[in-house]
Structure 1
């Protein structure tokens, strides 16, 4: 045993010497790379760019200011920033607007960039709203809406909501009558009570939850939603490293299928008339359509009752007489866009989108509590929105009067951002139009449909347009160059000028690989993209490692700096040692359209796993990799796929590293899981074929599971339960390592290093053959 350990140790030392990268250094993450700029904002007058940045001289990220005139960057403190006027892109047409920072409300004049504090108090405020009158704004304090008038400084309470139950009329009248009959003297109404009588009529919410309180632009009416207050059972995980010295249980999100269905309604309130009207959503197209999967359980025909729906905050047109309302079904298979016409009192369905898998995609959003990218055009007659009708998320216009639809973009690419220009004649668009691995920036003229290319270099352009639309503040990165801040003129094929230089000397001293983006055919003929890290022939060892990115719906085989930057650096180290590394954008990944996104519906561990197997096959057939010298690893969703590979395709990979892995989808959260697998009670078939815990008997080759013990997302309980099954089934070729202070995303460099040291040792021990 000592001899084997000695040989492996020598092998590890010998191999490691081929790389100038030090594992413990690269696992420091941005402390090794250099901290990149973030949180980009323009000043209200467009003369300054504000951003957060941690330079070498700072211990944490601080605010900085770039002066367009002097072209200089200076450090500013938090208090200085609070006094600065920040541009609000949603208010680009206004020369002045209001700002809510903490509990302070200020008025901003865009021309002189002055910020005038008009209200400061200790009470919490939120939901700041602008209306047609430029001197008026509304804000919410507690349950109620208040009006603030900049011209005279007045503040007026507009609503008088109470979360209590409405008193019984019979009880109130009896008590009042009793007082009048029994007593000659009655206490006169106090001044305080008299003042209360001047408030708007009290509206009782009857223990329901109010949200989305919004006033029309003409200030004539309000809209809000009511929903049931849910008390869902939380999960718990243990913190063994609490400062008290005692182990403590911590609450976390509930499990899928245990979340109570919401009961939403939307109310129209006219303060002047003190009238309330509840809108009727029962006639929505498809509101009782039964999901197709239920046929497998013998259920046919329409549902017995309306689907539970979630109603989002209304968006008013400029005139203020119409409201655009987004609604999603709780099962996330339907999305509706409606318009409420206040003059006629009619609610009209404008757009219905249905997906038997789940509604999602760029600008649409898979979380059913988000409305997506929608809004009014300046003519008050058209709305814009995005849809995956063609298989890719594209931009549409629709006339709310005639219901005539106009598709603005088309093709096998996705719209990842669309912002209406200041004059309303064009959209500024971020899309992967020229390459699915890019995020490029364009201008689309609405009249001519002409595309103007502004930024199309390989990589990702996160663009912030200046208030006058003459300049662009851009956070840009490429595959082997981290994010930096640039500035450019807003013109066709503009040139970027770099403002920040963030990377450290040690990072710059290494020649980081520009990994090739390759494509291979999956077993069903579909094309799948991947990043390929190829070693030089003089060190190539004919072994390969497949990395599986997390989240499922995430893109990693792209042309910009990876969010998995530690893994990117680790792959460079592995390639130095002679390994070939393949990083696959398997089915479920972002950036490739609806069918790629939803291919895992009701079977996680199906197409997403077979893509890994087809990737391995491509490596063997095209890269000279030995069939019995391939390993696999990944974290979160990637850890799940690793487990499914090791348990359901046990002869394919010689070893696997499963990090923070889901082992049983019935134990994960509702919002993510129910989209893909429905719920355990309604679709047990989907859960059983998708959960590694049902395939524990299949373990054959070397497996290591690594997991943060204080992970409130994918909880440690997941791997504990799978471990018990391995024990009961007599499996021996596996290990579980828990990290006591780590959550889902590790925080300490020591834990990162320990984790990836174990992975590297596993790969070396199981994939390298003595020739």
Structure 2
């Protein structure tokens, strides 16, 4: 067995860079240090190897096939994970017993249903487990016996144990319960987006009434229908063997989510008006199997999408009654939170806006980034908590329900003048008390809070200039485990909070990116760990401080381990505009301080809200290797976590509110100055590139600051934010009908006249994220402005994330050529 003490997994070199106060929120104590940090390799490398673009952009199987979707087995004695099949997109499952000495063995296809799943559910007494495999429900008892509950080609979802140990699950929006003792399966309730059937109505109007009097057949038929309806109603009320009457929510409605109490006495459901597709939202696909052009359906544009408000309904499973829950008890439900924005835009039009109270559109917190349900029942079934958000993105509420009054009771409000984050929204109940725990950014950083239903204010449980995520509560309410970047913004370790003493203990010291999953018996942690120089693998440790770390898998290829890779140093670049520095990766060539000033490239990561200057393995692994290739050839390369990036607190995230492309380019300018002053870089030989949000930044830099870079490559870039999607864009820029100023201030197409330096635009044509139309419109704009220093490369079969190695190679050959010719 390969056993590594924590300090031997990676070696971390730390040197002091400069002194500066980096506290973002006055209420938080400073923890991050302004240090230069780098990870050194732990394998023997071959310094004679020279990287090539052909190798870097080849099918990534050559790097190794890292574990994916790992989870604990039902008995906590083994873990399961997926691994990509060589040369294929198929994933196979592997089983790794904790007492094994290898990477594990493939799980036979005939035994896949026995694995459990990452979302295994426990009964209240923890004697039963349930999970879904290929759309069917399975249970396992305390003796390890597995029973299949459903066997169907129809998908079943969301297994849940009731307090009486019945198991419920749903098929579509019909809920079934299974008595694990008798095996009886019953329909619990069916949710219908239809109008409720009505009893035959008495004839209305002169002709109908006369028809009843004159034609005996019609009168008898009317009586028969009425009597049959009454008989059916009486039968269902009196005979317990029949399924209950369905719950009807009206035609043209769509169910957003629903959740049943562990006592099976109430169901909470959110509905909204069904929204038909917009026929304009299509994307031409020119390379098809038939040879024809296909019109692929794609997402709404933010300019066109209008979210439908949701209705929250409490349904009694005892008598079938429905009780709409009003949002009027939520503080701020009728505030005009965008009054200042509307006034500014009205003034620009020569108009005057008069603010007034409005009824805001509200619904469940169901952002794409967030996987847990926004409805959380206490395990006693006595209470339910709901996380709600305003569709203007400025408020998040946690509320409970007064079942007697059939009303929402607000417990916590998080308001943000910019936008409430779509991350850091985990919440739940303590098991042994009517107390909530949740994450909130209200102090400026994501931290843990608790709120007793009997208390007036929430209690803050963690504090500091760091971000808390992935809170995991133990069954005995003794500990909350979490992940955080306490010591450095780029170093993520596992911690736990002692809920009795309120003390925090650090569990891992691996100096990279470490994620965790607590075992079912809550005695062990499954770790997924990586560094800048080493992709993810699985590790094991006891769930206690200073425990030994055992490596469970080693899936990195021998070919990759031999590469003489340059470890980027994480440096804190002083900012001209904020107290906090801009943490950035810098790749140095050998002897970079010797000789004439060097060429340099600044890479702009995508997504905006993403952290790339950390010490973990990057999702941009091709770019990481490309930057090493550039460093081998004498370039200095910088990768900045510009303002808007993840990991640095609320103020860093929201700096771009209503002005995308302004703070980020200011940070790039500080990056260029730092390279010139500290890394022997020639100011006149610096280029930039990036994809998606990074492509947008390349546009903005070359258009608005034409002397900053000598060349730039914009890959799958946004040129006009009004054409991007609603969930992402409306957070940052509101919507075009309310805030056109923000869109015109933030969209590159309005600044294209500033282009003076060579620009490469690379555009995939079947990109259903950033539409090819973005590039087409900008290119036409550049043509009409008679610009000469740009060229466009199109990729007919590629989506937003390229799939073909040949496309990756073509793209990066062009980027490399651009820099070689112009820097």
TM-score (norm 2): 0.86
Aligned to 1:203: 247
8 Å CA contact 2:80–2:115 kept in 1: the answer is no
Partner of 1:697: 753
- Mapped pair 1:546 → 2:602: yes
Q: Pick one of 417, 421, 432 that aligns with 1:356.
A: 417
Whether the 8 Å CA contact 1:45–1:112 is kept in 2: the answer is no
- Structure-1 residue corresponding to 2:786: 730
CA deviation string 1:586-645 (max 9, x = no partner): 000000000000000001111011111110111111112111100000000000000001
Equivalent residue for 1:427, pick from 462, 465, 480: 480
Decide which moves more: 336-345 or 699-708: 336-345
Residue 295 (structure 1) aligned to one of 333, 339, 343: 343
> Does structure 2 retain, via aligned residues, the 8 Å contact 1:163–1:204?
yes
Partner of residue 143 from structure 2, selected from 97, 112, 124: 112
Counterpart of 1:224 in structure 2 is: 269
Q: Name which of structure 1's ranges 338-347 and 53-62 shifts more when overlaid on structure 2.
A: 53-62
From the superposition, tell whether residues 478 and 654 of structure 1 become closer, same or farther in structure 2 (CA, over 3 Å): same
Deviations 1:735-766 (A, max 9, x none): 00000111100001110011001111110110
Tell me what 1:501 maps to: 554
CA distance in 2, matches of 1:244, 1:329: 45
Secondary structure of 1:757's counterpart equals: helix
Alignment partner of 1:760: what SS? helix
Matched, 1:77 2:122: no
| SS in structure 1 at match of 2:270 | strand
Aligned match of 2:5: none
Shift of 1:721: 0.6
User: Contact conserved, 2:61 with 2:86, CA < 8 A, in 1?
Assistant: no
- The number of equivalent residue pairs is 741
Distance 1:284 1:496, change over 3 A: same
Aligned-partner Cα distance in 1 for 2:532–2:193: 53
Relative distance call for 1:57 and 1:693 in structure 2 (3 A) is closer
Is the 2:451–2:457 contact (alpha carbons within 8 Å) kept by the matching residues of 1? yes
Range with greater deviation from structure 2 (396-405 or 120-129): 120-129
Q: In structure 2, what is the equivalent of residue 142 of structure 1?
A: 172
Counterpart position of 2:392: 331
Q: Determine the structure 1 residue equivalent to 2:13.
A: none
2:602 is the alignment partner of 1:602: no
Cα distance between partner residues in 1 of 2:408 and 2:331: 13
**Which whole-Å CA distance do the structure 2 matches of 1:757 and 1:506 have between them?**
23
Instruction: Could you tell me which runs of 5 or more consecutive residues in structure 1 were left unpaired when the two chains were aligned.
Output: 1-16, 365-372
The counterpart of 1:276, out of the listed 305, 322, 326, is 322
Contact 2:412 2:458 in 1 (8 A): no
Distance 1:595 1:18 in 2: 45
- Aligned pairs (5 A) from 1:483-522: 483-522=536-575
Partner of 2:584: 530
SS in 2 for 1:646: helix
Query: Aligned partners of 1:71, 1:125: CA distance in 2, in Å?
Result: 37
Equivalent pair of 1:486/1:499 in contact (CA under 8 Å): yes
Residue of structure 1 aligned with 2:512, choices 459, 473, 490: 459
Report the CA distance between 1:59 and its aligned residue: 7.6
Query: In 2, distance between residues paired with 1:161 and 1:361?
Result: 29
Distance 1:86 1:661, change over 3 A: closer
2: distance between equivalents of 1:83 and 1:764? 55
Q: Which residue of 2 aligns with 1:625?
A: 681
- What does residue 130 of structure 1 align with? 161
Check 1:211–1:127 CA distance in 2 against 1; reply closer, same or farther (3 A cut): farther
Match of 1:33 in 2: 63
2:488 is paired with a residue whose SS is coil
State the partner residue of 1:11: none
Query: What secondary structure sits across from 1:578 in the alignment?
Result: coil
> Is structure 2 residue 370 aligned with structure 1 residue 314?
no
CA distance in 2, matches of 1:58, 1:247: 27
Q: Is the 8 A contact 1:321 1:341 kept in 2?
A: no
Query: 1:273 offset after TM fit, Å?
Result: 2.1
Match of 1:257 in 2: 303
Q: Distance in 1 between matches of 2:130 and 2:93?
A: 22
Q: 1:235 to 1:665 in 2, by over 3 A?
A: same
What are the superposed Cα offsets for residues 121-150 of structure 1, whole Å, 9 maximum, x if unpaired?
A: 33332232222122x122222332222211
1:368 aligns to what?
A: none
RCO higher in structure (CA 8 A, sep ≥6) = 2
Q: CA deviation at 1:306?
A: 3.0
Q: Would the aligned equivalents of 2:162 and 2:262 in 1 still touch at CA under 8 Å? A: yes
1:558 to 580, 600, 614: 614
Name the Cα RMSD after superposition. 2.6
Query: Paired residue for 2:132?
Result: 100
Q: Is the 8 A contact 2:587 2:631 kept in 1?
A: yes
CA pair 605-493 structure 1, distance change in 2 beyond 3 A: same
8 Å CA contact retained: 1:288, 1:302: no
- Separation in 2 of the partners of 1:193 and 1:399? 46
Matched, 1:247 2:293: yes
1:9 match? none
Give 1:585's aligned residue: 641
| Separation in structure 1 between the aligned mates of residue 79 and residue 700 of structure 2, nearest angstrom | 47
Distance in 2 (CA, whole Å) between partners of 1:476 and 1:630 is 34
Give the Å deviation of 1:547: 0.2
Deviates most, 244-253 or 266-275: 266-275
Q: How does 1:469-488 map to 2 (within 5 A)?
A: 469-488=522-541
**Partner residue of 1:399?**
452
TM-aligned CA distance change 1:78 to 1:643, over 3 Å:
farther
Deviation string for 1:377-398 (max 9, x for gaps)? Answer: 1233210111111100100001
- Given that 1:131 and 1:137 are in contact with CA atoms closer than 8 Å, whether structure 2 keeps it comes out as yes
Deviation of residue 433 (structure 1)?
0.9
Deviations 1:293-352, CA, capped at 9 Å, x for gaps? 223134343343333434664211122121101110111110011011324544210001
Task: Provide Cα deviations, 1:431-450, integer angstroms capped at 9, x if missing partner.
Answer: 00121101100111011122
Deviates most, 749-758 or 79-88: 79-88
Contact 2:607-2:692 within 8 A present in 1 as well? yes
* Distance verdict in 2 for CA 1:347–1:457, change over 3 Å: same
- SS of residue paired to 1:589: coil
Tell me by how many angstroms 1:193 deviates.
Answer: 6.9
| Structure 1 position 503, deviation (Å) | 2.1
Out of 410, 416, 419, the position equivalent to 2:469 is 416
> Residue 683 of structure 2: SS of its match in structure 1?
coil
Find the residue that maps to 1:320 and give its secondary structure.
coil
Q: Distance in 1 between matches of 2:49 and 2:135?
A: 53
**Does the Cα contact within 8 Å between 2:493 and 2:514 map onto a contact in 1?**
yes
TM superposition shift of 1:578: 0.2
State the secondary structure of the residue aligned to 1:711: coil
**2: distance between equivalents of 1:667 and 1:502?**
41
Question: Residue 570 of structure 1 is aligned with which of 626, 644, 648?
Answer: 626
Deviation at 1:707, TM superposition (A): 1.1
The answer to whether the Cα contact below 8 Å between 1:214 and 1:224 also exists between their aligned partners in 2 is yes
Task: Return the TM-score normalized by structure 1.
Answer: 0.91
Residue 732 of structure 2 is aligned with which of 647, 667, 676?
A: 676
Deviation of 1:509 after TM superposition, in Å, equals 1.7
Deviation of residue 720 (structure 1)? 0.7
Contact 1:319 1:380 in 2 (8 A): no
Distance in 2 (CA, whole Å) between partners of 1:617 and 1:58 is 45
State whether residues 639 and 662 of structure 1, in contact with CA within 8 Å, keep that contact through their aligned partners in structure 2. Answer: yes
Of 115-124 and 515-524, more deviation after overlay is shown by: 115-124
